[in-house]
Structure 1
């Protein structure tokens, strides 16, 4: 199984309340859409840096402990419009999306940067998105 497949399994069990598999696929799809809309991992990390959350974002990439963010910090970094658009695309409340992404993104970014560097992570993300699309019945 690929790293992203393992990650998806872990996130299904931990990030969404210990086995709440029904809500996991939409949140992973939302994270994928977010990465795509922000120009990939680099663009997303730039958003966090610009919003004063560079220390948190850097902790997710590094090999140390991940610093948390909350839904309001995520909303500040990404903007209400971005979160509202994502929520609308998936038919979910914006506060649920922001709360879920605040829990998911640190773990997701940590897993796709296992060596403490973003180098090579874009290819890993693309492989993961292709795998996720296959699991969800979509062609990449």
Structure 2
């Protein structure tokens, strides 16, 4: 097993905010994602017509609504972190899975960073320069997220550069020895969870 569900759980809890963590009776990732997506309002559920666009549209439309409702706007950065999660996981899948994504990152001049994320003995995962993120991710996908969260594109790229290392790190708990198939199965499982809640 990889640690992907742990990182998703942490991000989801941050997005929910401390005040809502106490009333989560159903534990586990499913329960927490259910809380995040359930609380984000049912008004956008009709837009969950499947596919990445539908999933992102629903998640982000609802996240945007939650952001406006928060009095101090303090949930903004945390909300963006969970908002870019489906985008990152879908990007990894588009590369043919974890190994393809690692190769793509290394070819983009990020070999040292990738090594620091994969190696379980290196604590400080290195960040990614924003221009590298811009060259890796489809501009239209990022634009869609930006519009739906009503956040500047720069903030979306910044959120991706924060979350991507955590995702890669969580997918490789045994470093290079981690089963890539297991990692890809876990990615699919989380994507199914997200889309499952949105289709309810």
Q: Which has the higher Rg, Structure 1 or Structure 2?
A: 2
Unaligned runs of 5+ in 1: none
Shift of 1:38: 2.4
Comparing 54-63 and 64-73, the one that deviates more: 64-73
Corresponding residue for residue 97 of structure 1: 156
Mapping of residues 92-131 of structure 1, within 5 Å: 93-117=152-176, 118-119=178-179, 120-131=182-193
Q: Which runs of 4+ in 1 moved over 4 A?
A: none
Unaligned runs of 5+ in 2: 19-74
Say if 1:75 and 1:98, in contact at 8 Å, map to a contact too.
yes
Query: Structure 1 residues 24, 69: CA separation in 2 closer, same or farther (over 3 Å shift)?
Result: closer
TM-score, with length taken from structure 1: 0.75
Choose between structure 1 and 2 for higher RCO, CA contacts under 8 A separated by at least 6 residues.
2
Corresponding residue for residue 39 of structure 2: none
- RMSD of the TM alignment (CA)? 2.7
Following the alignment from structure 1 to structure 2, what is the Cα–Cα distance between the partners of residues 86 and 93?
A: 13
Query: Structure 1 residues 138, 40: CA separation in 2 closer, same or farther (over 3 Å shift)?
Result: farther
Query: Structure 1 residues 111, 47: CA separation in 2 closer, same or farther (over 3 Å shift)?
Result: same
Query: Structure 1 residues 46, 38: CA separation in 2 closer, same or farther (over 3 Å shift)?
Result: same
Corresponding residue for residue 8 of structure 1: 8
Shift of 1:99: 0.8
1:88 is the counterpart of 2:135? no
Query: Structure 1 residues 74, 98: CA separation in 2 closer, same or farther (over 3 Å shift)?
Result: same
Shift of 1:127: 1.7
What is the aligned residue count? Answer: 131
Shift of 1:138: 4.0
TM-score, with length taken from structure 2: 0.55
